């Protein structure tokens, strides 16, 4: 009788970069013969890939650690990711944690778990992030339709609110040649779309005399991938040539996500952002001039220290004036070892919540208006799954579309007539 395969469960918090890394790590376990199960199910090992951008992310991680041990008290729990790099000893002190692996060690979690002794007192395997020079490519293929390809890691910026450089180190990336090889590997899977991810992807090739623009030109030539998307990119690194190329490409989708963070130049300066509102406005204007149907998402932080009512109103009015499609609203969260926590004039939690609600309402209005522009139009939709008794997918310009169920349309691009704006999504009819 053969020995049952050991069961391992993964849970990933945070950005799509984390998801691409978890997927890569998971494939190592599958190759070794492990059975992967849902995180809520009984497993021998649990791996939690953490985020630490906000205080809520830290709290969620602690909750999930306790959940794993309740499911199987005899399991081994390993914690990796940004939270593990920033606060390894804090995590190790949580009851139920067996291993904490820093950024330099997370891709070796398989060997660490297999070599770990339950009675071991050495829970933390961790080194200084400045020692990390190597770039480890990652990609997800768990979602059949879409793959997240990590092309860059780390950040050389010093934004006053951000812990990412402390958690992931300096900016680094692979060469175009090696990145193309990975993309070609993805193209041999069922994936129809690749999303380029990273911490600061506009810095791709910074240390190899290559650029993001060089990369996307080469990716555009790949035969077996229908769609590419550029994930979040800094406005000062979103060049005219990238926008121009995207406007003419049949594969790079008319979809941009650009962090603003504040519509007040005073606050942008305090945040140590590398642009001001005039440059941001210019980027939006150029995109819409070249690609009128483009979807543009924007990140914004509310409640940053020193943000007065006047500053917030400036942010609100500035965003309202922009031809954008939706917002990702983040409520400022104090992060240890960042310069922002030393800034006077803290904004009360109550005020932060109020401002967040106002921007969420504005986002809904922007999103509905954007969707309205395409009602009674026909657009190509890549259908991804069945959800709530509907076939669900996204247009080229990232409108979520729901249609009547046609299972044979999953993972296919179909022409769809959009006919009803339902707010978060649009109903459409497959032609």
Report CA dihedral (299, 304, 308, 314) to the nearest 10 degrees.
-20
Q: What is the pLDDT of residues 215-242, one digit of tens each?
A: 999 999 999 999 999 999 999 999 999 9
pLDDT reading at 118 higher than 80? no
* Topology, domain 133-253: Transcription Regulator spoIIAA (3.30.750)
Would you tell me which CATH number, out of the four given (3.30.420.40, 1.20.1250.20, 2.40.50.140, 3.40.50.300), belongs to the domain 378-430? Answer: 2.40.50.140
Q: What is the pLDDT of residue 131?
A: 61
**CATH of span 257-271+281-373:** 3.30.750.200
Lowest mean pLDDT among 78-92, 122-136, 278-292, 367-381: 122-136
Contact 375, 400 (CB under 8 A): no
Three-state DSSP class for residue 231: coil
Q: Pick the residue with more confidence: 88 or 214?
A: 214
Q: What is the pLDDT of residues 315-354, one digit of tens each?
A: 999 999 999 999 999 999 998 899 999 998 999 999 999 9
Average model confidence (pLDDT) across the chain:
92
How many residues does the structure list for the chain? 431
State both tokens at 280.
């941001």
Q: Name, in order, each residue with C-beta under 8 angstroms of 309's C-beta and a sequence gap of 6 or more.
A: none
Contact 302, 332 (CB under 8 A): yes
Tell me, what DSSP letter sits at residue 81?
E
Q: What is the pLDDT of residues 250-277, one digit of tens each?
A: 999 999 999 999 999 999 999 999 999 9
Quickly state the pLDDT bin for 143 (edges 50, 70, 90).
low
Region label for 261, one of left (φ > 0), alpha (ψ between -120 and 50) or beta (otherwise): left
Q: Pick the residue with more confidence: 386 or 117?
A: 386
Q: Examine domains 133-253 and 257-271+281-373 and report if their fold is the same.
A: yes
Domain limits of the chain?
7-127, 133-253, 257-271+281-373, 378-430
State both tokens at 332.
């400022």
Report which secondary-structure segment, H or E, holds 370: helix 349-372
Q: What is the pLDDT of residue 120?
A: 65
Three-state DSSP class for residue 300: strand
Would you tell me which CATH number, out of the four given (3.40.50.12160, 3.40.50.700, 3.40.640.10, 2.40.50.140), belongs to the domain 7-127? Answer: 3.40.50.12160
Q: Name, in order, each residue with C-beta under 8 angstroms of 70's C-beta and a sequence gap of 6 or more.
A: none
Dihedral sign for Cα 128, 131, 133, 138, please. negative
Maximum separation of any 2 CA atoms in the chain, in Å: 72
Q: What is the pLDDT of residues 193-217, one digit of tens each?
A: 999 999 999 999 988 899 999 999 9
Q: What is the pLDDT of residues 359-371, one digit of tens each?
A: 999 999 999 999 9
Distance CA 46, CA 43 (A): 7
């Amino acid at each position: 009788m053969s020995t049952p395969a050991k069961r391992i469960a993964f849970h990933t918090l945070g950005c799509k970069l984390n998801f691409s890394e978890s997927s890569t790590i998971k494939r190592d376990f599958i190759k070794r013969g492990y059975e992967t199960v849902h995180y809520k199910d009984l497993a021998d090992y649990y791996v939690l890939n953490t985020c630490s951008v906000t205080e809520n992310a830290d709290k969620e991680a602690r909750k999930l650690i306790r959940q794993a041990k309740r499911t199987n008290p005899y399991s081994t729990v390993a914690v990796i990711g940004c939270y593990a790099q920033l606060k390894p000893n804090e995590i190790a002190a949580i009851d139920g944690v067996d291993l904490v692996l820093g950024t330099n060690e997370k891709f070796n979690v398989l060997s660490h778990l297999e070599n770990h002794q339950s009675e071991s007192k050495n829970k933390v395997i961790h080194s200084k992030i400045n020692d990390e020079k190597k770039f480890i490519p990652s990609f997800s293929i768990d979602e059949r339709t879409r793959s997240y390809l990590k092309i860059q890691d780390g950040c050389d910026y010093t934004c006053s609110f951000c812990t990412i450089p402390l958690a992931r180190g300096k900016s680094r990336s692979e060469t175009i040649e090696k990145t193309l090889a990975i993309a070609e590997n993805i193209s041999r899977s069922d994936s129809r779309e690749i999303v380029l991810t990273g911490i600061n992807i506009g810095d791709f090739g910074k240390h190899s005399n290559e650029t993001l623009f060089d990369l996307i030109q080469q990716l555009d030539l790949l035969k077996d991938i229908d769609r590419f998307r550029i994930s979040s990119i800094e406005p000062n690194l979103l060049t005219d040539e990238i926008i121009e190329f995207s406007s003419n490409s049949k594969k790079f989708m008319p979809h941009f996500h650009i962090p603003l963070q504040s519509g007040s130049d005073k606050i942008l300066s305090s945040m140590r952002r590398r642009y001001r509102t005039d440059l941001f406005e210019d980027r939006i204007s150029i995109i819409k001039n070249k690609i009128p149907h483009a979807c543009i998402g924007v990140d914004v932080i509310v409640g940053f220290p020193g943000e007065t009512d006047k500053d917030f109103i400036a942010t609100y009015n500035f965003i309202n004036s922009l031809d954008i499609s939706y917002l990702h609203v983040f409520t400022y969260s104090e992060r240890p070892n960042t310069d922002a926590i030393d800034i006077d004039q803290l904004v009360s939690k109550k005020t932060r919540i109020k401002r967040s609600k106002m921007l969420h309402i504005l986002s809904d209005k922007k999103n509905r208006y954007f969707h309205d522009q395409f009602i009674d139009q026909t657009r190509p939709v890549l259908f991804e799954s069945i959800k709530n008794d509907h076939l669900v997918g996204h247009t080229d310009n990232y409108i979520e579309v729901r249609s009547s169920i046609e299972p044979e349309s999953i993972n296919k691009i179909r022409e769809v007539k959009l006919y009803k704006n339902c707010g978060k999504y649009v109903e459409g009819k497959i032609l």
